[in-house]
Amino acid sequence: MQTPNTPSPTEMLVACLCAEWCGTCRVYQPLFEQLQTQFPGVRFLWIDVEDESELVDPIEVENFPTLLIARGQHSLFFGTVTPHLQTLERLLRSALEPGAPALAPEADRDGLVQRLWRHGI
């Protein structure tokens, strides 16, 4: 049974972990937002790691942009990507495929996924 702010096992989350001072992130943000119209069933979040440090900690984001893609509570991708629209689109299409493999469990990253779903940014 689902509780409030608990995703179904098929709900998708895409979070971009960024920083306001990062020029690459500022260029990437409109591209990231553009994909929201192509993937209406996916929840997109733009997270400034400094403004939302309590939410992001203990994750240390050292390279930008860093993407987190999750289906339900399971992480499918977590890492730095080149700031290209086609790269994100390809990652999302792969993650949406039935049977897309989840990453091995990792406490800090999986905790971030849970916090993002609960926080409801």
Active site residues: 22, 25
Say whether 70 sits in a helix, a strand or coil: strand
Distance of CA 72 to the CA centre of its chain: 12
DSSP conformational letter for 101: P
